[in-house]
């Protein structure tokens, strides 16, 4: 984690530092050039104004006057005749000689720049012509020591250096805070996940931000609660499974012991053996159903959807169940319009409906009424199994889909239920992308409704 903040910091720093250097380089160059240009312009303007005066009064006195004025200023002047002979100079001409080149072609009245290489030369220089009566009479050379330009640029450099330092320091401070801000919540999340892996699921992460980090924190919390739930569910499941397996095994062992140890009359022996067989069947049924559930859980089980005509489908099931209905004198009614089509796996759908009908038969008195209905809605197909049996107490309704959940343990035990039927039904219904709803009232009856979205027309 620490490494991440260092990496981020260095990366940010290099990028920002590069940008700053790049920007400063161009800014500096631009400012320096325009400053020198201004100096040259000012120098030329000064030369031009001297030449304007001299054009009016071209005499020794005026030349001396101009020279005297310049001797007190930062700049220097040299006035030559048109052949380059010095007429007047504000200081020693020796250091200016190399600039006193008389141009071969005529120069404009605006003057021209003679030397602008401020970096290497000791002076920058301009030239302005003096015309008397329309004839070129003399030249005014203006000079400015580049030392002043250099000190100007030096000052600029100092400013840039200071600004550079300040921005580098600010960048470093900002980067430190920024990378802390990013890595701190990450560190917390790392701690939280290692807590989770140790089995401590009650982690709470302060979700301050609304960004990806906040999302990550939320996901981690969600993961923790999910894991907690799964762990609890697994514990309950294991507890109930061992209970469910133990009970029939105790019966089997008990009766087997009796049959083995005592000399029993044939009739009684037969009775005990029958119980043993029944309990063994129950056990193998239980294990088969558990295996089924495990397959659904793993998603290793595939739904092969087909187009099913519900009316024909239910008719066939009614025939299969007719014996069970007769035994309990059930008054069964099938309400399904012709041509009600559905996309479902026929084997699984049969398993679902059989389970629901089996419950309705099991938890209803003899002579009860059971209805199996199907109807079309705009965008869905509904199937419902309705009975007027014992019903389910309201507060137990949410629990009946749990594995091994039975409303009255003793009652259902005598009926041979395992409490897995509805758990399997729910998984199968969900595998179809459908919904299941329970509507039940104690001592009135139960209706279980399945909703399949999106029907199909043949």
Give the β-pairing of 369-376 and 331-335: parallel
Consecutive H or E run containing 204: none
The least CB distance from residue 344 to Mg ion, in Å, is: 20
Q: Does 359 bind Mg ion (CB under 5 A)?
A: yes
Residue ranges of E strands in 327-407: 331-335, 341-344, 369-376, 380-387
Burial of 135 (0-12, 13-18, 19+ CB in 10 A): exposed
412 binding partner (options ligand ATP, Mg ion, none; Cβ < 5 to 8 Å by kind): ligand ATP
348/406 with CB nearer ligand ATP:
406
In angstroms, the first-to-last Cα distance of the chain is 60
Of the ranges 59-67, 181-189, 236-244, 415-423, which one interacts with ligand ATP (CB under 6 A)? 415-423
DSSP letter assigned to residue 367: T
Q: Which of 171, 340, 388, 446 binds ligand ATP (CB under 6 A)?
A: 446
The least CB distance from residue 359 to Mg ion, in Å, is: 4
Q: Which of 69, 334, 405, 439 binds ligand ATP (CB under 6 A)?
A: 405
51 binding partner (options Mg ion, ligand ATP, none; Cβ < 5 to 8 Å by kind): none
Of the ranges 37-45, 122-130, 324-332, 404-412, which one interacts with ligand ATP (CB under 6 A)? 404-412
Distances (CA, A) of 103 to 70, 82, 89, 114: 23, 10, 19, 9
Written as six digits, the tokens of 409 are 């343990």
Question: Cα separation of 47 and 62, whole Å?
Answer: 14
418 binding partner (options Mg ion, ligand ATP, none; Cβ < 5 to 8 Å by kind): ligand ATP
Q: Which of 195, 240, 412, 439 binds ligand ATP (CB under 6 A)?
A: 412
128 binding partner (options ligand ATP, Mg ion, none; Cβ < 5 to 8 Å by kind): none
Q: Does 9 bind ligand ATP (CB under 6 A)?
A: no
Binding track, positions 336-365, relative to ligand ATP; x by CB under 6 A:
-------------------x---xx-xx--
Q: Does 390 bind ligand ATP (CB under 6 A)?
A: yes
Residue ranges of E strands in 4-85: 75-81
CB 423 within 8 A of CB 402: yes
Q: Does 44 bind ligand ATP (CB under 6 A)?
A: no
CB 425 within 8 A of CB 442: no
129/389 with CB nearer ligand ATP:
389
Contacts of 99 (CB under 8 A, 6+ apart): 114, 115, 123, 125, 141, 143
Q: Does 418 bind ligand ATP (CB under 6 A)?
A: yes
Of the ranges 91-99, 102-110, 372-380, 414-422, which one interacts with ligand ATP (CB under 6 A)? 414-422
Q: Which of 407, 428, 429, 450 binds ligand ATP (CB under 6 A)?
A: 407
User: Would you put residue 126 in left (φ > 0), alpha (ψ -120 to 50) or beta?
Assistant: beta
Question: Cα separation of 439 and 436, whole Å?
Answer: 10
Nearest residue relative to ligand ATP (C-beta): 421
Q: Does 389 bind Mg ion (CB under 5 A)?
A: no
Distances (CA, A) of 6 to 9, 169, 180, 183, 198: 5, 16, 10, 10, 29
The least CB distance from residue 358 to Mg ion, in Å, is: 5
Of the ranges 19-27, 169-177, 255-263, 411-419, which one interacts with ligand ATP (CB under 6 A)? 411-419
Written as six digits, the tokens of 56 are 């009016």
Q: Does 421 bind ligand ATP (CB under 6 A)?
A: yes
| Backbone phi and psi for residue 160, each to the nearest 5 degrees, phi listed first | -65, -40
Written as six digits, the tokens of 85 are 């002979």
Q: Does 321 bind ligand ATP (CB under 6 A)?
A: no
Residues that bind ligand ATP (CB under 6 A): 355, 359-360, 362-363, 387, 389-392, 400, 405-407, 412, 417-423, 446
Residues forming the site for Mg ion (CB under 5 A): 359, 421
């Amino acid at each position: 984690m620490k490494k991440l903040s260092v990496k981020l910091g260095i990366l940010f720093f290099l990028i920002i530092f590069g940008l700053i250097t790049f920007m400063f380089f161009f800014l500096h160059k631009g400012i320096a050039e325009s400053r020198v240009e201004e100096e040259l312009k000012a120098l030329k303007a000064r030369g031009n104004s001297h030449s304007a005066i001299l054009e009016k009064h071209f005499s020794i006195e005026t030349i001396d006057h101009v020279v005297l004025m310049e001797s007190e200023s930062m700049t220097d002047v040299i006035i030559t005749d048109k052949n380059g002979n010095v007429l007047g100079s504000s200081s020693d001409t020796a250091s200016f000689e190399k600039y006193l080149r008389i141009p071969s072609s005529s120069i404009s009245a605006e003057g021209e720049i003679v030397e602008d290489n401020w970096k290497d030369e000791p002076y920058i220089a301009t030239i302005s012509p003096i015309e008397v009566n329309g004839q070129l009479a003399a030249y005014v050379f203006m000079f400015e020591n580049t030392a002043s330009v250099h000190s100007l640029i030096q000052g600029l450099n100092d400013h840039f250096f200071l600004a550079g330092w300040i921005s580098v320091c600010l960048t470093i401070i900002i980067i430190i805070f920024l990378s802390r801000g990013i890595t701190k919540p990450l560190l917390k999340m790392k701690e939280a996940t290692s807590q989770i892996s140790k089995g401590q699921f009650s982690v709470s992460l302060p979700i301050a931000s609304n960004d990806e980090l906040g999302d990550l924190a939320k996901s981690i919390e969600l993961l923790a609660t999910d894991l907690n739930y799964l762990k609890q569910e697994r514990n309950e499941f294991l507890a109930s499974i061992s209970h469910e397996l133990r009970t029939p095994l105790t019966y089997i062992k008990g009766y087997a012991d009796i049959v083995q140890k005592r000399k029993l009359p044939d009739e009684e022996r037969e009775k005990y053996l029958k119980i043993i067989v029944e309990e063994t069947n129950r056990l193998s049924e239980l294990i088969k159903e558990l295996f089924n559930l495990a397959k659904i859980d793993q998603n290793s089980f595939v739904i092969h959807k087909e187009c099913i005509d519900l009316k024909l489908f239910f008719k066939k099931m009614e025939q299969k169940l007719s014996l069970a209905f007769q035994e309990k004198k059930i008054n069964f009614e099938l309400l399904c319009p012709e041509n009600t089509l559905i996309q479902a796996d026929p084997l699984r759908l049969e398993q679902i409906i059989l389970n629901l009908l089996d419950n309705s038969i099991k938890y209803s008195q003899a002579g009860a009424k059971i209805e199996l209905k199907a109807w079309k809605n705009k965008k869905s197909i509904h199937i419902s199994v309705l009975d007027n049996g014992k019903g389910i107490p309201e507060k137990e309704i949410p629990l009946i889909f749990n594995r091994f959940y039975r409303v009255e343990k003793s009652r259902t035990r005598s009926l041979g239920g395992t409490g897995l039927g509805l758990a399997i039904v729910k998984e199968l219904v969900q595998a179809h992308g459908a919904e299941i709803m329970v509507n039940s009232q104690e001592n009135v009856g139960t209706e279980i409704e399945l909703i399949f979205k999106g029907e199909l027309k043949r």
